[in-house]
């Protein structure tokens, strides 16, 4: 019956929305806590930053190439090597937020496929691929 199929489809959509919402909520809360801890470590001076806070205003006026030269900061994903520095720990915390959508889409892929929603699953996969390629910097020459 069409009514039974429609109800089953509606239940599947509600299940996926609930899963997405739970994961989004959890990831956002985790991201907030990590951001708060990273910020407190930064402003308290517990962790040393790559760029001292006192020099930040002066250096922020420089063109990017000169800023990188003056600070010795890496480009692309090489910032991960400095994650033990307070300013880069903050960057890592912000990066967590950028990956929340990607993780949520990956989480609902299996339920989408189980529900027979191949088009929705394909769209979710396409979004994951676009986000991953954008994050990689591959299209802009970043690394």
Please write the tens of the pLDDT for every residue from 4-53.
Answer: 877 877 888 888 899 999 999 999 999 999 999 999 999 998 999 999 88
Of 99, 50, 57, which is closest to residue 74 (Cα–Cα)?
Answer: 50
pTM (2 d.p.): 0.74
Distances (CA, A) of 31 to 78, 90, 107, 131: 21, 11, 17, 18
The predicted-structure confidence for 86-104, as pLDDT tens digits, reads as follows: 999 999 999 888 889 889 9
Mean pLDDT on 122-142: 83
Residue with tokens 């801890």: 37
User: What is the average pLDDT score of the chain?
Assistant: 88
């Amino acid at each position: 019956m069409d009514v039974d199929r429609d109800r089953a489809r509606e239940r599947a959509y509600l299940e996926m929305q609930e899963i997405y919402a739970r994961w989004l909520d959890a990831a956002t809360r985790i991201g907030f806590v990590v951001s708060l801890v990273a910020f407190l470590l930064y402003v308290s001076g517990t962790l040393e930053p790559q760029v001292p806070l006192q020099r930040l205003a002066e250096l922020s006026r420089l063109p990017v190439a000169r800023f990188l030269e003056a600070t010795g900061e890496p480009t692309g994903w090489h910032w991960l090597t400095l994650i033990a520095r307070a300013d880069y720990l903050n960057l890592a915390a912000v990066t967590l937020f950028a990956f929340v959508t990607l993780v949520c889409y990956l989480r609902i892929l299996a339920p989408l496929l189980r529900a027979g929603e191949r088009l929705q699953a394909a769209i979710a996969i396409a979004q994951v691929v676009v986000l991953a390629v954008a994050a990689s910097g591959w299209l802009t020459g970043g690394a």
